[in-house]
Amino acid sequence: MTQSHQLKLIDITLGEFYDSVADRVSTPGGGAVAGAAGALAATLSRMVAVYSMHKDRQEDQSCPVWPIADRLRKLDEVLRQTIDEDAAAYGAYVKVSKAKDGTPEAKEKLQQATRRSMGVPMNIAAKSNDVLDGLFDLVDWGNKWLLSDLEAAAILAEATVRCAGCSVRVNANQLSDPGEAEEAMKRIDALEQAGRKRLSDILGGLDRRMKHGT
């Protein structure tokens, strides 16, 4: 199933999505998979947040977990959208790249398509780091029976940052402006470094809680 179909990737079944990724088609690919992984990390994080609030305080904005849960909900929505955004961006890049036109206008269209294909996974990496920030804030508040889920969500979010980085770098290497390419590389390097640091902080906090049985 490709972008030529009416159904969005986010609306098909999980099995259909797997089959779409496995098909010999250009989309969905690594970027869309990264978006899906990031959305799963956010979704799992939301579950931990929900169970870390008393069921009667789910809508209580004074509850200390509520703003964390709300941030994760918004991040979940954005990351779900990136699945189709990435597939559309790469699909457009493939279409433009197949055009046998060496005019300056055609070359600029290809550069624009490359920037778009790079921009979506860059956003996936940034939003996945935001998920990690939300999880870090949840470490002390998280339901003690769901600390393993919090840990799994954090590991998945950090992995998403690195997976998205693969798509960023391959597109950055196609940019004609060396300065623009270098700036993109620096940004994704910084996002990956921040992700590793935040994951380490989360795992350290969880280890402390587990040792104390709290």
Distance between CA atoms of residues 187 and 204, nearest Å = 26
Contacts of the segment 73-77: beta carbons below 8 A, 24+ positions apart: 73/46, 75/42, 75/127, 75/130, 75/131, 75/134, 76/39, 76/42, 76/43, 76/45, 76/46
Q: How confident is the model at residue 57 (pLDDT cuts 50, 70, 90)?
A: low
Higher per-residue confidence, 119 vs 25: 119
Model pTM score: 0.92
pLDDT in tens, 40-51: 999 999 999 999
Q: Which CATH number fits domain 9-212: 3.10.129.10, 3.40.640.10, 1.20.120.680, 1.10.357.10?
A: 1.20.120.680
pLDDT in tens, 118-164: 999 999 999 999 999 999 999 999 999 999 999 999 999 999 999 99
**Residue 19 confidence (pLDDT) above 60:** yes
**Residue 4 confidence (pLDDT) above 60:** no
